[in-house]
Amino acid sequence: MGMRGTNVAKEASDIILMDDNFNTIVGAISNGRCIYNNIKKAISYVLAIHIPIALISFVLPLIKIKNFLMPVHIVLLELLIDPTCSIIFQRTKPDPDIMDKKPHLDSENIIDKATLLRCIIEGILIFITVFALYIYYYQKENIILGSTMAFTLLITSIMMCANTMKSRKLTITNFINSFKDKVIVLINLVILSILLILIYSPLNEYANMCMLNYKEWLIIIALTFLVTIPLDIVKKKRWTYELRKFKKRIW
């Protein structure tokens, strides 16, 4: 006890309760688990989104097709990745059942096999979608339009990937809930503003991009949400399975 305990007891103890309230321990454990889970989500996000970037940079030159990723694109991607990891996941609220789970073992890896597999699947799905869209316009010999749409789809998919990783809720639910946080909205607006400047300003010539019409934006938006469907299906099944296990444990 921090208020009533002796100095000798404080020096010998591992935990000191400054308010002498045992309920503080419960709150501390909840906060600790939330921080741990958010770190896992941030690492998972970084792993997932670097897979399509790496595959695009490797596969396109391998099959002798011009790579649409330029240094300015990489800079924009880094501007997207860093704030997402450091701010968005830091502000993610704990899961409702965070205190119902068993404590993780000290020997447990921060990224388990299931999480790693989910990251790989998400990254490959983004890569396949972006790659297919770029190849479609590349074969039509409209490389600049293909580069613009592929890069825009990569940005929107990465942004949506953050909503997929935030919680076990459906991506669309996390996406809608993100509008309640002004900081997250501000970050997304800054990223989208930079992207729109690259598309609709004279700078698009230096970024190998062109203007997009509303039909092309509809295609990008549809493909962005399409990428999240497989993981949402897996997430929903896993959530249902864990809910059944929790009910059995209660009864």
> What pLDDT, on the 0 to 100 scale, is given for residue 246?
43
Alpha-carbon distances, residue 157 vs 13, 94, 178, 216, 225 (angstroms) = 49, 24, 16, 15, 8
> What pLDDT, on the 0 to 100 scale, is given for residue 241?
43
122, two tokens: 């998400």
> What pLDDT, on the 0 to 100 scale, is given for residue 104?
77
> What pLDDT, on the 0 to 100 scale, is given for residue 106?
75
> What pLDDT, on the 0 to 100 scale, is given for residue 248?
53
> What pLDDT, on the 0 to 100 scale, is given for residue 231?
77
> What pLDDT, on the 0 to 100 scale, is given for residue 152?
92
Nearest by Cα to 45 from 79, 76, 75, 88: 88
Q: List, for the chain, all residue ranges whose pLDDT scores fall below the cut of 50.
A: 241-243, 245-247, 249-251
> What pLDDT, on the 0 to 100 scale, is given for residue 237?
59
**Tens digits of residue pLDDT in 5-52:** 777 887 888 888 877 777 878 888 888 888 888 888 888 888 888 899
Question: Tokens 């309920």 map to which residue?
Answer: 23
Question: Tokens 């790659």 map to which residue?
Answer: 131
Alpha-carbon distances, residue 106 vs 95, 103, 109, 110, 230 (angstroms) = 21, 9, 8, 10, 32
> What pLDDT, on the 0 to 100 scale, is given for residue 166?
80
Judge contact between 209 and 151, C-beta under 8 A. Answer: yes
